Structure 1
Amino acid sequence: MHVRTPEQASFADAIDAFCRARTGTRAQRDALTHDGTEAHAPGLYAQMAELGWLGVGIPAEYGGSGGGMSDMCLFAERTAYGLAPVGGYITTAVAAGPYAKFGTPAQKETILGGIARGRVEAISISEPGAGSDAAAITCRAVRTHGGFVVNGQKTWCSNAHFADHVLLVARTNTVSSRHEGLTMFCVPAGTPGMEIRGIPTMGGKEVNDVFFTDCFLPESSVVGLVDQAWPQLMSGLNSERLLLAASMLGRGRRAFDDAVTYVKERKQFGRAVGSFQALKHRIADLATELDCCELLVYRVAAMADEHPDRMLPREASMAKLKTTETAKRVALEGMQMMGGYGYATEYDMESHLRATVISTVYGGTSEIQRDIIGKTFGL
């Protein structure tokens, strides 16, 4: 396991204690999430903001603690392990990156300061015809007097239904390269011409279609440079992949611990089922894989902290690929070891499975991560 600083160890302990007290039982979590249909509990999130945790990656000048990627990963990991319904955190942290690097002073004050106080942000890139191929974006923002008029549809936008702003990526110019001519816009919730419709999923209310119909955005809503959103997006891939990996490290460890608890208590043929070699070896393999994931995630996080502006396409993709696939395997194996009880909603394993299976899709599928890693070797 990776070595934490004394401050990080105390931070992790505090998060664990908080989660044990407030989200430690199914009844507590159901009360916070309308029986599991909501991925985010605003009241719980506000309590974390009061403790200063949501500003862990926000500069001190905007009300944060100025922590690095390792600290953000720690928060994502431990809240995921504690099953805290704070689904808005990762999208918020990912959206914060472009504002921190390319935003105007006013945008930084509004967005970064708001995040530290508990505001949720969303980022909208995908479209019905632009998923893994993000450069295929067709949602148009046409320049007009004083700003831009946006028309088009975005999809799979996490948390847009309760976010304060949507960081929109739209096409502002049609040029020879598909990676050029894209622009980022900060769109406040409730902006006329923007409509948000939820997409029902196994995970409840998490993702949305977002429709833009003659939606006017003033010039001041541009984040960074017009037509330069692609390199701005690429600069933030480290944080997205690492935070997703850290979150699934926490969820995978929780699924593992739940499975171990069960196989120690469940008896068949006069003994605990975990004492049989078939399950004992399965547990040993999963424990080894999870420790490998932890070392990988925090090694890459340390690299990002050491060189914040360095692109880490190979390493960040490796962390996302390895950890999400491992977490999915842990949940599948956990369900198998628990038999029918692993499928029953009485236990958390079926929830672990739903959460980990989709993690290999969002934020770049496992296939895309493998393709990126391969390209870094000149293939």
Structure 2
Amino acid sequence: MGSRLTEDQADFAAAVRDFAKRECGTREQRDALTDGGREPHHKGLYGRLADLGWLGVCLPEEYGGAGGGLADACVFLEETAYGLVPAGGFVTTVITAKAYERFGTEEQRRRVLGGAVRGAVLSIAMSEPAAGSDVGALRCRAARQPDGGWLVEGQKTWISNAHLAEAMLLVARTGQDKHQGLTMFHVPMDTPGVEVRGIETMGGREVNDVFLTGVRLPADAVVGEVGAGWRQLMAGLNYERLFLAANMLGLARRALDDAVAYVREREQFGRPVGSFQALRHRVADLATEIECVRLLVREVASDCDAAPDRLFPREASMAKLKATETAKRVTLECMQMMGGYGYATEYGMERHLRAAVVSTVYGGTSEIQRDIIGKSYGL
């Protein structure tokens, strides 16, 4: 397939675009669905995506999914981001669900993947106040109990969509070794001792502190193997980085299209400002960068689908780095092209910028992605 969409994928992309235009194509619709931009996720609209069967785009058919690959999921993410669909819970859900698909028990897969297909939101909890980019430094501890269960104590922070989630995939310390002492656990959000507190950000209600105080989990809450949490996390990096890249690809496309529509109409000195060479050349450069991202994301997704058991640390990090940094550049330069109106909340470009800026931080900062890429060359 390479960077080209199959006929089925092109039809799927068109269907998602049509849905977005119909359900949230106007500013008034989006404001009503998102509380004026403060809530990136709308449960009712998300439920309609589930009814269409789209939330299981890359999940196995035996659990209600469509059985597609990463390339199919990237199409969905790109188009929902472009259409500004308030389905912010999908990224963390699909990243988390893929971990259960690979490492969970049959019962866990049936419950968790089936729920995701039906519209349940999932969250993954890794970061802590003293463990961000250095995930291996986390301190949240799970201690085995005499009955075989686990007692969890600790705090997680910057946990996306924990306030929306039905369950979270918790990474906790079960041993002394920095990397070999980590384990994944399935934690329903209504478990006694789990407290979620929202963190106010300029992007609205997205991330949270999660406090775990005297949380008791059964023995079968372990996802995968005890002590194998780090290896299991690394196995999911293709998914996480590609999904985030596809999301930002869609946002960059949308920002540029919004800016082009504006500069075609806005007149100064007796002509549309887009007709001036300074802006024409800026549009040309940004469009070229976006096309580079599109080709990279689709090519890496295709490679991952062709070799599902292989890790692509260099390529996945390149996709995440290029897509997020491009989205940040595109939205900032589009704001400049729109002048004061780009800064005004009325036009929405400032929302695009806020969403793009944080993408270079979550899911592994741009600095971490560059370090991974550099190390892949033996440096």
Q: Same fold (TM over 0.5)?
A: yes
4+ runs deviating over 3 angstroms: none
Q: What amino acid does structure 1 have at the position aligned with 2:169? A: L
Following superposition, the deviation at residue 37 of structure 1 comes to 1.1
Secondary structure of the 2:195 match is strand
Structure 1 residue 35 displacement after superposition: 1.5
CA deviation map 1:12-56 (0-9, x unaligned): 000000000011011101111112111100000000000000010
Match of 1:8 in 2: 9
The answer (yes or no) to whether the contact 2:3–2:296 under 8 Å persists in 1 is: no
> 1:344, 1:367 → 2: CA distance?
31
Contact kept in structure 1, 2:153 and 2:215, CA below 8 Å: yes
Counterparts of 1:146 and 1:32, CA distance in 2: 45
Whole-angstrom CA distance in 2 between matches of 1:203 and 1:332 = 16
- The amino acid that maps onto 1:87 is G
Cα-to-partner distance string for 1:59-93 (whole Å, 9 max, x where unaligned):
00000110000000000000000000100000001
Q: Secondary structure at the match of 2:120?
A: coil
With structure 1 as the length reference, what TM-score do the two structures score? 0.99
Q: Secondary structure at the match of 2:94?
A: helix
Letter in 2 for 1:30: D
- Identify the residue that residue 226 of structure 1 maps to in structure 2: 226
Q: C-alpha separation between the residues in 1 aligned to 2:229 and 2:361?
A: 23
Identify unmatched segments of 5+ residues in structure 2: none
- In 1, Cα distance between equivalents of 2:283 and 2:172: 47
1:146 positional shift: 2.9
Instruction: Specify the alignment match of 1:72 in structure 2.
Output: 73
Alpha-carbon separation, structure 2, partners of 1:97 and 1:258: 34
Gaps of 5+ in 1: none
Give distance in 2, aligned partners of 1:53 and 1:34: 24
* Equivalent-residue separation in structure 2 for 1:205 and 1:98 (angstroms): 25
Deviation at 1:8, TM superposition (A): 0.4
1:132 is the counterpart of 2:133: yes
Say whether residues 1:36 and 2:33 are aligned partners. no
Matches for 1:242-321 after TM superposition, within 5 Å = 242-321=242-321
Matched, 1:323 2:323: yes
Shift of 1:2: 3.2
Give the counterpart letter for 1:232 in structure 2.
Answer: Q
Aligned equivalent of 1:112: 113
Amino acid at match of 1:212: L
Provide the C-alpha distance between the structure 2 equivalents of 1:51 and 1:38, rounded to a whole number of angstroms.
22
Deviation at 1:200, TM superposition (A): 0.4
Q: Secondary structure at the match of 2:49?
A: helix
Partners in 2 of 1:88 and 1:51 — Cα distance? 16
Alignment correspondent of 1:26: 27
Alignment size in residue pairs: 377
Deviation at 1:271, TM superposition (A): 0.3
- Identity rate of aligned residues, in percent? 64
Alignment of 1:44-83 (within 5 A): 44-83=45-84
The aligned counterpart of 1:195 is 195
1:378 corresponds to:
378
Secondary structure of the 1:215 match is strand
1:147 corresponding residue in structure 2? 149
User: CA offsets per residue over residues 268-310 of structure 1, 9 Å max, x none?
Assistant: 0000001111101000000100000000000000010000111
Q: In the aligned structure 1, how far is the partner of 2:36 from the partner of 2:356?
A: 19
Q: What is the alpha-carbon distance in structure 1 between the residues aligned to residue 199 and residue 103 of structure 2?
A: 31
Alignment-derived partner of residue 174 in structure 1: 176
Secondary structure of 2:244 counterpart: helix
**C-alpha deviation, 1:108, in angstroms:** 0.3
In the alignment, does 2:353 pair up with 1:349?
A: no
Matched, 1:157 2:159: yes
Alpha carbon RMSD of aligned pairs, Å? Answer: 0.8
* Contact kept? 2:3, 2:302, Cα under 8 Å: no
Q: Partners of 2:102 and 2:7 in 1: how far apart?
A: 29
Preserved contact between residue 92 and residue 123 of structure 2 (Cα < 8 Å): yes
Q: TM-score, normalised by structure 2?
A: 0.99
CA distance in 1 between partners of 2:274 and 2:28 (Å): 28
